[in-house]
């Protein structure tokens, strides 16, 4: 929407060499979407350290033992699900939470086992949501499933990553009917396509909306509002305080 260069007659300062930090703090405004609100061209970071380059740490597999019930969950899944080695990309334990990174085409199978196996019993799918890791991951669209075992009072997170070019993965609605609306929301906001979903349409945005608003390359605001011929500029084009 705002991939055009700034043509509003607003002076744009020359960026000094090395000033683009790639610092996470500047990610949303410096993403291809635009330059943030009110013509703010930098990071909005006034610490003086805006030029520092932050290295993104790749998420690494956690070595065993994980501690707590996490080992039990992994062992139970390994035993109940023969294709474990193929389906689980890595296991991460961080801040007392267990995350299984699952190959996207296997997600429905894994959920089925997680729900039905007597040693796992994750009966409730608490949450399904998307996240966009633009620039950090080749397969930048992640789907995050939060499963809850009411029997054992445990939680586990499943994460599946797909690319924007092929944003497909199987729907888990057959296993967890509650995923219905939540998958629709992830489709609406991130454009992730859940194959086998009974009715994958937009849910929060209007049916004829273009684009997927919560992707990182989708600007905040930036929708021209028409009223009697007058056009209201998107927030990042309106005025520059410089």
Q: Where along the sequence are the contacts to other proteins (CB under 8 A)?
A: 23-29, 36-37, 44-47, 54, 56-57, 94-95, 97, 99, 123-127, 129-132, 136, 144, 146, 150, 153, 155, 157, 176-182, 185, 202-210, 213-214, 220, 226, 228-230
CA distance 23 to 142: 21
The whole-angstrom separation of Cα 175 and Cα 108 is 7
Minimum distance from residue 83 beta carbon to other proteins (Å): 25
Which residues sit opposite 232 in a β-bridge? 225
What's 212's DSSP letter? -
Q: Which of 80, 92 has the CB closer to other proteins?
A: 92
Q: How far is the CB of 153 from other proteins (least distance, A)?
A: 6
Choose between 83 and 88: whose C-beta lies nearer to other proteins.
88
45 or 71: CB nearest other proteins: 45
- Spatial separation of the C-alpha atoms in residues 222 and 84, rounded to whole Å: 44
| First-to-final CA distance of the chain | 24
Give the residue ranges of DSSP H helices in 81-225: 84-87, 107-116, 179-190
Q: Least distance to other proteins from the beta carbon of 19, Å?
A: 17
**Nearest distance from residue 145's CB to other proteins, in Å?**
10
């Amino acid at each position: 929407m705002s991939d055009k260069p700034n043509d509003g007659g607003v002076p744009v300062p020359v960026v000094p060499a090395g000033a683009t930090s790639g610092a996470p703090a500047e990610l949303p405004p410096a993403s291809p979407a635009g330059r943030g609100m009110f013509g703010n061209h930098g990071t909005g970071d006034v610490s003086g350290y805006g030029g520092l380059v932050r290295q993104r740490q790749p998420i690494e597999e956690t070595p065993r033992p994980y501690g707590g019930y996490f080992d039990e969950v992994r062992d139970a899944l390994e035993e109940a699900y023969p294709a474990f080695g193929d389906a689980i990309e890595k296991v991460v334990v961080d801040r007392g939470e267990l995350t299984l990174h699952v190959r996207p085409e296997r997600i429905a199978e894994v959920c089925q086992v997680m729900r039905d196996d007597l040693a796992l019993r994750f009966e409730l799918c608490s949450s399904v949501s998307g996240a966009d890791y633009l620039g950090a991951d080749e397969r930048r669209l992640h789907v995050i499933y939060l499963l809850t075992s009411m029997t054992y009072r445990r939680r586990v997170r499943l994460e599946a990553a797909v690319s924007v070019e092929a944003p497909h993965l199987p729907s888990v609605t057959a296993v967890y009917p509650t995923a219905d609306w939540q998958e629709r929301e992830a489709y609406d906001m991130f454009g992730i396509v859940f194959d086998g979903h009974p009715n994958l349409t937009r849910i929060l945005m209007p049916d004829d909306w273009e684009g997927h608003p919560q992707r990182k390359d989708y600007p905040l605001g930036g929708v021209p509002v028409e009223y009697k011929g007058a056009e209201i500029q998107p927030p990042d084009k309106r005025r520059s305080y410089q």
